[in-house]
Amino acid sequence: MNESLTNQTSLTSGQLIVCHVFVNTTTVASCLHRPLTAHTAAVMRENDESEIIEHHDDEEMEKTRTPRNHAHSFLESVTSSEKDGYRSTQSSHRLLAYSDALISIIATVMILPVAHTKFQDNEELKQSIQALLTTKVAVYLMTFLIVTVAWAAHIRLFQVIQRIDDTLALLNLACMMLITFLPYTFSLMATFPSNTLGILLFCACVMVIGLIQAMIVLYGFSHPFFLSDQIQMSENQAYYKRRILEVIMRVPIMCLFASIFSFIYIQLSYIILALVIFLPYISQCLKWIWSKAIGGLVEDSPDSVPFYTYHPSEPLRKERVEAFSDGVYAIVATLLILDICKDNVPDPSVVKKEFDGKLLVALQEYGPEYLAYFGSFATVGLLWFVHHSLFLYVTKATRLMGLFNTFSLAFVGGLPLAYQLTHEFPRGSLNELEAVQISCVIIFFAGLFQLAMWVTALFTERETLHPYVRYGGREHAFMLAKLSVYPCVALGTFVFSCILSRFSTSIFHMMEIGVPFAFILLRLLVRVVLAAIRWLFCPARNDLDIVPVEEEDSQLPINDIVT
Amino acid sequence: MNESLTNQTSLTSGQLIVCHVFVNTTTVASCLHRPLTAHTAAVMRENDESEIIEHHDDEEMEKTRTPRNHAHSFLESVTSSEKDGYRSTQSSHRLLAYSDALISIIATVMILPVAHTKFQDNEELKQSIQALLTTKVAVYLMTFLIVTVAWAAHIRLFQVIQRIDDTLALLNLACMMLITFLPYTFSLMATFPSNTLGILLFCACVMVIGLIQAMIVLYGFSHPFFLSDQIQMSENQAYYKRRILEVIMRVPIMCLFASIFSFIYIQLSYIILALVIFLPYISQCLKWIWSKAIGGLVEDSPDSVPFYTYHPSEPLRKERVEAFSDGVYAIVATLLILDICKDNVPDPSVVKKEFDGKLLVALQEYGPEYLAYFGSFATVGLLWFVHHSLFLYVTKATRLMGLFNTFSLAFVGGLPLAYQLTHEFPRGSLNELEAVQISCVIIFFAGLFQLAMWVTALFTERETLHPYVRYGGREHAFMLAKLSVYPCVALGTFVFSCILSRFSTSIFHMMEIGVPFAFILLRLLVRVVLAAIRWLFCPARNDLDIVPVEEEDSQLPINDIVT
């Protein structure tokens, strides 16, 4: 009896909140003529619903950030049923931030077993690396990929469920617990590839995760005020529910087949699992390329759920992409100091015996480690800085940008390995050269995929980028310079270390420590380069520096040349 | 020449933004009469300046969250100088989130060397623990404390500097790099307590951090649009600058003395360092108690900076306390799976030799580990859940609440140790009993300090809590129940494990796995208990359940009894 009562009041409260938001929007808009006219127009145009959702979302977040004001002004005037709705629902903001932190750490932390592998110094590094690649690096990369797939599914789920209560929070925690267990099942699979147990455990985890997500969806649709406002207002709730459940249950059902096949022919289950991960990407990429080639054949039905597609242009919530990336950068930067603290504090008895109690002399042995630590921290920090600079001007993150971001982060996660390799080998050995080259490759790809993210964004710049960094925007050239520093420097270091192979490590450390200064000087450098290009290509207009107002107009052709 | 030009335009743009915000606020307020009247009043009353800051802050954050709308409506109409200001300044939101993630991981990660210590099984656990306490646990706790002190200083600094540019972002990264190096200097100090090198390195780090922070302040004050709006509008900018620099340079100067004294008498430098950490707390606590006892003797001068005091009621930014706590909970939850992945994947050759290739049998050896993992994850997850529930209703976090939060988190950080201990020892040994008891103590204090945070908030409930959880609020009893679950359960388990010492581990695991269900049933339980109390103390009014509207009024006396 109690349950049904709550249901009824909740429904009313949900509808009331929607009405309230609408009234607010219109009132504000009619008062502040200039900045909000676009919004009023959007509210009137019922078909442009994404605008409305975004606006509501902001209001929702603001409610939670300033509960004090609401305590004074809002709560005292609301009706009893609205209070009931507020009581049981909470904004999902912090839950999602915590989930992002958990998932990003889980994705990255599997690099530790890779980095802590002891390489045999006497044999060639290449052979060690090959032996390592077969298991540990594969486990790391597969874990990273699977965990980010789970994370993308989590984003999509909580784009539908936008408010939570205690039950949903606990269900989400159960889901997180199983996601953190996935790396272990991968380790089992990699160590015992012909044993069914690993694949069975993995499939069981995925199926339970799917069931929990289905429970979350069912619970959400039975209390509609949890849902996103677009679905709340829609007539087709039953259709949406069925469609979302179909998408969610697709992966668990394929895992069920994989686990059944594992008893018959185990290779087939691995193929099914690979299909589970890659098929949506491949099929949608092909569809997208097809539609681009033919032009507009594949059209969305108006009823389709806008956030349960696998389109490359499907939006991901920008804040969550940022939070996930922050987590990865933070854990990579701090894994390094853990190694330092564990391995580089000498034993007191050793110091007494071998160094006559002189600690400073004993610590000088670790010189390369300190250099490697500061160099690696600077690299991670600056890669974060570039990412941060880019996302300042990104207004919407699409799925394809998210994919490139994942690749970039996977290479960033490999930096502890680079750190471990570059200080482990004696100076001048062939291993050292290869270690430096591997590090360069890791940094190169981490930077290159960041650049790829921006290039992808430029293809749909009207939707995804701030005007300043679009073609011809005033920050365009500067952003290009920032994003290409690391790929260029890594490539340069690679080439130099091949030519001057004896000085490879010194060159590498010089590079790592020198780049921060490059960033400080970058704005100056870009100005100089732009001026030089301007002077070369349009010598008649080289007086532009004196008239900074016209600079904006003149940047368009110049930037096109630069790009 | 260029530099001075930027300066001038920046100043103008900063002032323009302030004016713009003011105009906006007043316009909106005059239109939406009801909900914003309180705000208008606050803007008029110049002395209640915290309201204004909070409001501006929200507008600032909203600007960055919805750049697209601004690109359409706002940017097209602003003047050229405003554009210049926007170009170089950025919201500090993501920089602070990244810093919080870094600092929380650094604070917690030093538990790993503690947890990975191999205990000798044949000797008594107490002796092992005592030997461990002298170095590793001390390093962990000191690191946690020092790092949270640095974090609090970072919060205070970025309450003054509220907008950033590339230079400030890079300076902040340099600061972070040195903070991540602090744990290493502590390890050195703990391993070689009589050597001056550790203390010198630590002091050098702190001094450089102080210098960088001073540079940030100087840079911020030379470009006033970076500053918080309160300081930007103030006449006394020079006074504020001097005062903030004084507070920032206090610690580095004391460290300079400590490093000088370390050559003369090393114990004295340790005392100075301890003073650096604890003196502000102690002196301000004494002052506060004194002012409470005498009553209103200590009054703030109107000119004093409101966020560079050490008052227990000084506000800390709630979002940053949440972000820091999320980081600690996330890293603790994921450190566990790292151990599982590293230690609990058997070697293929061992499985072949000892278990006839039967992986399932081999894995059964690790049964207790899995149980301990799921139990620990559930404990960490639910402690996060309690924290999340509490902070939903916290409207302002004070310094004292932050201190209790730090203590709670320090114990949460000890959970990997509890996990390690509870599955390491053979069943029924005395060590096992002690391991369970240590785990109970860790969980008990983690929960108790969360409860203490709420009790502290209740003392100033009008400022710090949402009306629902104040005395007599409708969620008050439920919040109390949620917060006391873990202290009560841990205490109960401790007592039971003393009485039924043979079943201690089973009881502990039962407890860890049973508590999640308790949370699901909690709302029901609280209702039953409240009904029972009501029935016991006011039997005449036991028909209240039928009339839910009156329930609210009747909860006030009942809650007082419960508390």
3-class SS of residue B27: helix
**Looking at the predicted structure, is the pLDDT value of residue A199 above 80?**
yes
Tell me what pLDDT residue B6 has: 37
CB burial of residue B66 (10 Å; 0-12, 13-18, 19+): middle
3-class SS of residue A394: strand
Mean pLDDT, to the nearest integer, of A376-403?
87
Tell me what pLDDT residue B562 has: 35
3-class SS of residue B470: coil
Structural tokens at position A19? 């009405």
Smallest CA–CA distance from B341 into chain A, residue: A184
**Spatial separation of the C-alpha atoms in residues A343 and A340, rounded to whole Å:** 6
Candidate from A73, A77, A330 with C-beta closest to B98: A330
Record: contact B391-A516, CB cut-off 8 A: no
Mean pLDDT, to the nearest integer, of B295-310?
53
Mean pLDDT, to the nearest integer, of A265-271?
81
Residues B358, B359, B362, B368, Cα dihedral to 10°: -140
3-state secondary structure string, B247-277? Answer: HHHHHHHHHHHHHHHHHHCHHHHHHHHHHHH
**Spatial separation of the C-alpha atoms in residues A338 and B111, rounded to whole Å:** 10
Confidence class of residue A409 from pLDDT cuts 50, 70 and 90?
very high
**Going along A317-415, which residue ranges are E strands?**
397-398
Candidate from A38, A192, A385 with C-beta closest to B173: A385
DSSP-derived secondary structure letter, A468: G
Confidence class of residue B445 from pLDDT cuts 50, 70 and 90?
very high
- β-sheet bridge partners, residue B315: B398
Mean pLDDT, to the nearest integer, of A530-549?
61
Candidate from A62, A94, A341 with C-beta closest to B322: A94
Record: contact B341-A35, CB cut-off 8 A: no
Using a CB-CB distance cutoff of 8 angstroms, which residues of chain A are in contact with residue B34?
73, 77
Using a CB-CB distance cutoff of 8 angstroms, which residues of chain A are in contact with residue B87?
468, 474-475
Record: contact A98-B389, CB cut-off 8 A: no
Using a CB-CB distance cutoff of 8 angstroms, which residues of chain A are in contact with residue B391?
94
Smallest CA–CA distance from B462 into chain A, residue: A68
**Spatial separation of the C-alpha atoms in residues B345 and A197, rounded to whole Å:** 12
Residue A547 one-letter amino acid: V
Alpha-carbon distance B57 to nearest alpha carbon in chain A (angstroms): 11
CA A561 to mean position of chain CA atoms: 31
Record: contact B58-A54, CB cut-off 8 A: no
**Spatial separation of the C-alpha atoms in residues B23 and B43, rounded to whole Å:** 11
3-class SS of residue B227: strand
**Looking at the predicted structure, is the pLDDT value of residue A163 above 80?**
yes
Rg (CA), chain A: 27
- β-sheet bridge partners, residue B397: B316
Tell me what pLDDT residue A313 has: 65
Residue B159, CB half-sphere, CA atoms under 13 Å: how many?
23
Candidate from A90, A170, A326 with C-beta closest to B520: A170
Mean pLDDT, to the nearest integer, of A47-65?
37
Using a CB-CB distance cutoff of 8 angstroms, which residues of chain A are in contact with residue B516?
170
Residues B41-88 pLDDT 10s: 333 333 333 333 333 333 344 434 433 333 333 333 333 334 444 445
Phi and psi at residue A312, to the nearest 5°: -65, -25
CB burial of residue A320 (10 Å; 0-12, 13-18, 19+): buried
Using a CB-CB distance cutoff of 8 angstroms, which residues of chain A are in contact with residue B469?
none
Nearest residue to A317 via CA among A500, A53, A110: A53
Tell me the ipTM for this assembly. Answer: 0.74
**Spatial separation of the C-alpha atoms in residues B479 and B470, rounded to whole Å:** 10
3-state secondary structure string, B82-121? Answer: HHHHHHHCEECHHHHHHHHHHHHHHHHHCHHHHHCCCCCC
**Spatial separation of the C-alpha atoms in residues A124 and B449, rounded to whole Å:** 54
Confidence class of residue B450 from pLDDT cuts 50, 70 and 90?
very high
Helices (H) and strands (E) in chain A, counts: 25, 4
Let me know the angle formed at the C-alpha of A175 by A169 and A176, rounded to the nearest 5 degrees.
90
Record: contact B170-A331, CB cut-off 8 A: no
**What kind and span of H or E run contains B164?**
strand B163-164
**Spatial separation of the C-alpha atoms in residues B326 and A63, rounded to whole Å:** 21
Neighbours of B561 (CB within 10 A): 11
Record: contact B32-A36, CB cut-off 8 A: no
Please provide the DSSP assignment of B392-406 as one string.
HSBS-EEHHHHHHHH
Contact criterion met (CB below 8 Å) for B497 and B440: yes
- β-sheet bridge partners, residue B394: B465
DSSP-derived secondary structure letter, A561: H
Average pLDDT of chain A is 72
Tell me what pLDDT residue A447 has: 93
Q: Which residues, in sequence order, are CB contacts of B171 under 8 Å at separation 6+? A: B212, B215, B216, B219
Record: contact A187-B377, CB cut-off 8 A: no
Candidate from B77, B183, B384 with C-beta closest to A341: B183
Angstrom CA distances, B284 to A78, A408, B144, B289, B291, stand at 41, 48, 21, 8, 10
**Looking at the predicted structure, is the pLDDT value of residue B299 above 60?**
no
Residues B201-233 pLDDT 10s: 888 998 999 999 999 989 888 887 888 777 777
Candidate from A73, A192, A395 with C-beta closest to B67: A395
Q: Which residues, in sequence order, are CB contacts of A318 under 8 Å at separation 6+? A: A391, A394, A395, A396, A397
Average pLDDT of chain B is 72
**Spatial separation of the C-alpha atoms in residues B217 and B528, rounded to whole Å:** 56
Tell me what pLDDT residue B88 has: 57
Record: contact A197-B337, CB cut-off 8 A: no
Candidate from B69, B327, B345 with C-beta closest to A188: B345
Q: Which residues, in sequence order, are CB contacts of A63 under 8 Å at separation 6+? A: A70, A91
Using a CB-CB distance cutoff of 8 angstroms, which residues of chain B are in contact with residue A69?
35, 38-39
Question: What is the torsional sign of CA A268, A145, B336, A418?
Answer: positive
Confidence class of residue A387 from pLDDT cuts 50, 70 and 90?
very high
Estimate the crossing angle of helix B415-422 against helix B399-413, to 10 degrees: 20
Phi and psi at residue A439, to the nearest 5°: -60, -45
**Looking at the predicted structure, is the pLDDT value of residue A25 above 60?**
no
Candidate from B31, B333, B467 with C-beta closest to A71: B467
**Spatial separation of the C-alpha atoms in residues A453 and A397, rounded to whole Å:** 9
Rg (CA), chain B: 27
Higher pLDDT, A308 or B5: A308
Whole-prediction pTM:
0.76
Contact criterion met (CB below 8 Å) for A376 and A415: yes
Best residue in A102, A321, A419 to probe B by mutation, most B CBs within 10 Å? A102
Nearest residue to B345 via CA among A205, A55, A201: A201
Contact criterion met (CB below 8 Å) for A385 and A349: no
Higher pLDDT, B315 or A67: B315
Using a CB-CB distance cutoff of 8 angstroms, which residues of chain A are in contact with residue B106?
334, 337
Angstrom CA distances, A203 to A156, A197, A270, stand at 21, 10, 11
Using a CB-CB distance cutoff of 8 angstroms, which residues of chain B are in contact with residue A21?
none
Alpha-carbon distance A48 to nearest alpha carbon in chain B (angstroms): 14
Alpha-carbon distance A106 to nearest alpha carbon in chain B (angstroms): 6
DSSP-derived secondary structure letter, B465: B
Using a CB-CB distance cutoff of 8 angstroms, which residues of chain A are in contact with residue B183?
337, 341
User: What is the share, in percent, of chain B residues with pLDDT greater than 90?
Assistant: 6
